[in-house]
Amino acid sequence: MLNPCTPYPVVAQNTKPAAWLFDRLALSEYNVASLVPRGYDAYARVLHPAESSDEQPVRWDAIARWSGRELHAESLFSEISDRAPGGQTGDSPFDESPRIGHLPETELAALCALLADHTSTPQTCWFCVWEGWGWLTPERDGAELRAEGPGDEAPSSSSPPAFLTDVLSAPRVRMPTRDYALMTGPLNSVTVLGNYRDGHFFPQSPSIFWPEDHAWCVATEIDLDSTHVAGSADLIAALLSHDLIEAIAATPNDSISAAYK
């Protein structure tokens, strides 16, 4: 559950805090290093959970056991969910495929709690939010970029959007294939970022985020069903053994190109 007291991130009015990414990302390649920077001690791929018919999260390794497929750092969900000859009989353990471009809020909150222990600057973090989400464009009547708790009431029709104007007018972090609005706030503010519409809050994990000390970097590419994390060996070891997060070890050179075919 979201905490209504969580501080909101604010829109950055210059993009200099993101300049370091351009020096360390392999922007012209289709590998992990094109998502999170090179130069870290270790890397991991967080697998977004699938969903069962009763809306419970389903891990990829459980699906791979059912299908008889091997789960590895470059696995595609379409591959591991395709039952191999000799795989288990019976119905598939999942009903809905993993979310694309969004790390679900339970896993995101658990990840952020872990990340907070591996930075000296958890109160100052930076969040790149892809500008193409529908609620960040003026064409979507009434769309608002907001950060709200579950108990907050929907604003009246005359209520101004929460910093939507700031987002539209702010400079962009411009990368070869994506442009992002840049926001800043404490690490826990990432969990209240999203669209508040018609009395409902729709969380959206940022595309890229990192702390002021650059101790780690996290990326959720909008077209992928995984989130990649770069950081210290201790951070990645803790992530790989986390009870609530399914993650596998990765390297900067792991390919992501197959996911776009």
From residue 121, alpha-carbon distances to 3, 53, 102, 126, 215 in Å are 21, 40, 24, 11, 9
For the segment 162-183, the average pLDDT, to the nearest whole number, is 79
- Residue 115: predicted pLDDT: 98
Percent of the chain with pLDDT over 70: 84
Highest mean pLDDT pick, 135-149, 173-187, 218-232 = 218-232
Question: Is the model more confident about 235 or about 170?
Answer: 235
The mean pLDDT of the chain is 85
Task: Give DSSP secondary structure letters for 170-234.
Answer: S-EEE-SS-EEEEEEE-GGGGGG-EEEETTEEEE---SEEEETT-S-EEE--TT-SEEEEEE-HH
- As a whole number of angstroms, the distance between CA 133 and CA 206 comes to 11
> Strand pairing partners for 146?
194
Q: Report yes or no: 225 and 77 within 8 Å, Cβ to Cβ.
A: yes
- Residue 141: predicted pLDDT: 41
13-67 tens-digit pLDDT: 899 999 999 999 998 899 999 999 999 999 999 999 999 999 999 999 999 999 9
Tokens (6 digits) for 254: 């792991």
- As a whole number of angstroms, the distance between CA 36 and CA 58 comes to 26
- Whether residue 146 is predicted with pLDDT greater than 70 in this model: the reply is no
- Residue 137: predicted pLDDT: 61
For the segment 95-106, the average pLDDT, to the nearest whole number, is 96
- As a whole number of angstroms, the distance between CA 124 and CA 136 comes to 23
**In 3-state terms, the chain is what percent helix, strand and coil (to 5)?**
25, 20, 55
Half-sphere exposure of 86 (CA within 13 A, CB side): 3
